[in-house]
Amino acid sequence: MQFEAESNGIKYEVSVLEGRKAWRVSLKPEGEDWRHYEIPKTDYQFVDQTISFIFKDTSYLVDAIGEGTNYDIYTRGTHRTVEIYNEENLLHESLKGKAGFGGGLNLNSGMPGKIVKVMVEPGQAVAADEPLLIMEAMKMENEMRASAEAIVETVHVQAGDNVEAGATLISFKKAESKK
Amino acid sequence: MFKKILIANRGEIAIRVTRTCRELGIQSVAVFSEADRNSLHVLLADEAYLIGPAPSSESYLNIEKIIEVAKLSGSEAIHPGYGFLSESPVFAKACQEAGIVFIGPTAENIIAMGDKLASRELMKKAGVPTVPGSEGTVESLEEAQTAAEKIGYPVMIKASAGGGGKGIRVALTPKELPEAFRACRSEGLNFFKDDRVFIERFIQNPKHIEVQVFGDSHGNVVHLFERECSVQRRHQKLIEESPSPSVPSEVRQRLGEVAVQAARSINYLGAGTVEFIFDNSTKEFFFMEMNTRLQVEHPVTEMVTGLDLVQEQLLVAMGCKLSFSQDQIQQKGHSIELRICAEDPVTFTPSPGKIRRCRLPAGPFVRVDGYAYPGYEVPIHYDPMIIKLIVWGHDREEAIRRAQRSLAEFMLTGIKTNIVLHKNILGHPQFIDGTYTTQFIEQEITSKPQNQLFMFVDEDVFLISAAITAYSDSKTRSTSEFKLASRWGKVGRQKGLRN
């Protein structure tokens, strides 16, 4: 089965084959060569509702939770969200006319909270790390900053609004490349 | 001893108090908001009463309701924990009027130390060293600017009624003052209903050193040595330890004496903490504030002194003499506490949600005070700290190794936690040699590329696990889940069926 994936800002092509005794997983990070792994099923198995994964002689306890195209992977006190798209997801994304795979030109709320202040307006160009808005959640005021250079397209919220987790707060357009 | 005590709090501290109650044969009464029906403090208490909706202003801060439940349940005393009503003189008085013992200092003690500005003046008069600052509160931006010029930048703006990391802002330059002033007043108003602020010198290489004190109603005041809490982010403590690696023994002696002097000057009753800002180059210390409650980090003091501070609180509240004198208190070995929070370790944004797997560390000299369990949903309404991991060792090196070992055993999934951040801090040269200051997190962690934060796991482990899980998910997905797929996929499949 073929997938496309994105983790920690890097895109991958992924292939998974299930054998009787082993998994064959191949990863190709963008611009690099394929990495092939043959993982005996005894090295990747469920123990006490968690995955015990022995990888390169290192023992990991892994919890993997898939929701839609997001796979939350927890191990050794760390967490990573890996986006996984199969062919159907990719088609779906492109038809929705969204930025789709690798886009993500939206500022979404990672948690439910209340908007305290909005510092930008539609049409405004913002630089990376520029403050966009202040949101209050779990008793703290959190300043949300731009992750990259962009142009504000729509501001979906205003000060005083209560927002749910995952709500889109601000949509962006790609900044025009400097000539 | 009391027969029944109401605990006016939630989370790990409510459980902490319940534990001592049970050891002493005291019935414990839990209170809970609508968001906390399944919270562990409710499950572990002897009795439990719903006191209102999720927002703390309508539940854990609802004085009338809590007093009503105390009377209804026949509780003789109320333990307020930390946060919420623990430093409310109004609550302390309300308890007194209802004939219920407030397990904490007197209302007068709380009032004397509750206002940071007034307490600083009070301590100055008592001969306790303080940091240079504005004369009283500053009312306007202009006044703030004048005061800041006089004190000299960088300056710190503090909400007069602030605490717990809320209502404090730093202005490194005059340019930053207006926004810091505004934010500080706004937080003060939102969280404490008081927008008065004051300004003081921001010490450049500061350490946060505090001293645990205890007073009884017979005029005895003792200290239980210091704790260092310099690993903080935005004035929220992350790691605390006792003893401090930076305090020489003669300064330790003085710190204890000054803290006792401070507490004695206001006839302090019960458990309290005198916080100092400590200049690591000159080894000078200045009074910052006094917290008139049990602290989050009290366990490190318990570990090095072998004393149960909650038990002592109960004894003192009943009017007993302190069960130890100053020369009986010894600081033995070294203890470290790590605050495990439901938050993103890189951005520090809160991460409430449902806990999937929860495997806590155990083994020799490891203590876990927390309220996480598999399936528990961490609510959005309260503080993100869910677990305190406390370890003890014969010396600091052993304690650090033990803390690292405990983190390696820790598994908590479904929500993001700062466990990985703690792993990074414990391995950092500045933490290991003890030279870290309160700016450690900002300078050494948050300003570094985040990739350096995740060196504990081979990157491909994430991808392979995600890929195999995604593969298994799509194999088990039944055709009845058509609606989840795109319309095109559905059309395609129907067409395929027709052919």
Subunit contact A55:B462, Cβ cutoff 8 A: no
For range A43-52, the mean pLDDT? 92
Task: Render pLDDT for A20-44 as a digit per residue (tens, 0 to 9).
Answer: 999 999 999 999 999 999 999 999 9
B10: domain CATH number is 3.40.50.20
Amino acid in the structure at residue B233 = R
Do B390 and B267 lie in one domain? The reply is: yes
A82/chain B closest Cα distance in angstroms: 7
Residue with tokens 């309290």: B272
> Using a CB-CB distance cutoff of 8 angstroms, which residues of chain B are in contact with residue A44?
468
At B54 the pLDDT is 96
> Using a CB-CB distance cutoff of 8 angstroms, which residues of chain A are in contact with residue B165?
140
A57: domain CATH number is 3.30.700.30
Subunit contact B457:A60, Cβ cutoff 8 A: yes
Q: Residue B46: give the domain boundaries.
A: 4-103
At B70 the pLDDT is 98
Number of domains in chain A: 2
For range A118-130, the mean pLDDT? 88
Do A17 and A36 lie in one domain? The reply is: yes
A16/chain B closest Cα distance in angstroms: 7
Q: What is the pLDDT along chain B (499 residues), one digit of tens a residue?
A: 999 999 999 999 999 999 999 999 999 999 999 999 999 999 999 999 999 999 999 999 999 999 999 999 999 999 999 999 999 999 999 999 999 999 999 999 999 998 887 898 899 999 999 988 888 889 999 999 999 998 888 899 998 887 766 788 889 999 999 999 999 998 888 888 888 998 988 887 899 999 999 999 999 999 999 999 999 988 899 999 999 999 999 999 999 999 999 999 999 999 999 999 998 988 989 999 999 999 999 999 999 999 999 999 999 999 999 999 999 999 999 999 999 999 998 888 999 999 999 999 999 999 999 999 999 999 999 999 999 999 999 999 999 999 999 999 999 999 999 999 999 999 999 999 999 999 999 899 888 776 566 667 899 999 999 999 999 988 886 444 444 444 444 444 444 455 4
Strand partners, A83: A6, A70
Residue with tokens 């025009």: A176
Q: What is the DSSP letter of B181?
A: H
Do B325 and B448 lie in one domain? The reply is: yes
Is the distance from CB of A51 to CB of A45 less than 8 angstroms?
Answer: yes
CA gap B226, B198 in Å, rounded: 27
> Using a CB-CB distance cutoff of 8 angstroms, which residues of chain B are in contact with residue A51?
465
At A168 the pLDDT is 84
At A68 the pLDDT is 86
Q: Which of A70, A95, A120 is the last residue of a domain?
A: A95
Do A41 and A80 lie in one domain? The reply is: yes
Is position A100 within any domain?
no
Number of A:B CB contacts under 8 A?
176
Q: Which of A95, A116, A150 is the last residue of a domain?
A: A95
Choose the closest CB to B413 out of A12, A63, A136.
A63
Q: Count CB-CB contacts under 10 A for residue B82.
A: 20
CA gap B322, B201 in Å, rounded: 37
CB of B344 within 8 Å of a chain A CB? The answer is yes
The CB-based long-range contact list for A64-72 (8 Å cut-off, 24+ gap) reads: A64/B465, A64/B466, A64/B468, A64/B469, A65/B356, A65/B413, A65/B414, A66/B466, A66/B469, A66/B470, A66/B473, A71/B465, A71/B466, A71/B469, A71/B470, A72/B413, A72/B414
Subunit contact A91:B420, Cβ cutoff 8 A: no
Is position B262 within any domain?
yes
B397: domain CATH number is 3.30.470.20
At A129 the pLDDT is 79
E strand intervals along B394-450? 411-412
Q: What is the ipTM of this complex?
A: 0.72
Report the first-to-last Cα separation within chain B, whole angstroms: 83
Subunit contact A63:B414, Cβ cutoff 8 A: yes
CA gap B187, B195 in Å, rounded: 8
Residues 427-466 (B) with a CB less than 8 A from some CB of A: 451, 454, 456-466
At A141 the pLDDT is 78
CB of B270 within 8 Å of a chain A CB? The answer is no
**Which are the catalytic amino acids of B?**
293
Choose the closest CB to A71 out of B408, B457, B466.
B466
Do A146 and A83 lie in one domain? The reply is: no
Task: Render pLDDT for A68-100 as a digit per residue (tens, 0 to 9).
Answer: 889 999 999 888 999 999 877 666 665 554 443
Q: Is B140 exposed, middle or buried (0-12, 13-18, 19+ CB in 10 A)?
A: exposed
Q: Residue A36: give the domain boundaries.
A: 2-95
Is position B111 within any domain?
no
Give the best residue of A2, A92, A139, A147 to mutate against chain B (max B CB count within 10 A). A139
Amino acid in the structure at residue A41 = K
Subunit contact A27:B451, Cβ cutoff 8 A: no
Subunit contact A63:B356, Cβ cutoff 8 A: yes
B337/chain A closest Cα distance in angstroms: 17
Do B268 and B325 lie in one domain? The reply is: yes
Query: Which contiguous run of DSSP H or E holds residue B424?
Result: helix B419-426
CA gap B472, B467 in Å, rounded: 9
At A137 the pLDDT is 77
Residues 6 or more apart from B256 whose CB is under 8 A from it?
A: B211, B223, B225, B226
φ, ψ for residue B46 (rounded to 5)? Answer: -75, -40
Subunit contact B417:A37, Cβ cutoff 8 A: no
Number of domains in chain B: 4
Question: Is the whole-model pTM more than 0.90?
Answer: no
Subunit contact A88:B485, Cβ cutoff 8 A: yes
Is the distance from CB of A174 to CB of A105 less than 8 angstroms?
Answer: yes
Is position B124 within any domain?
no
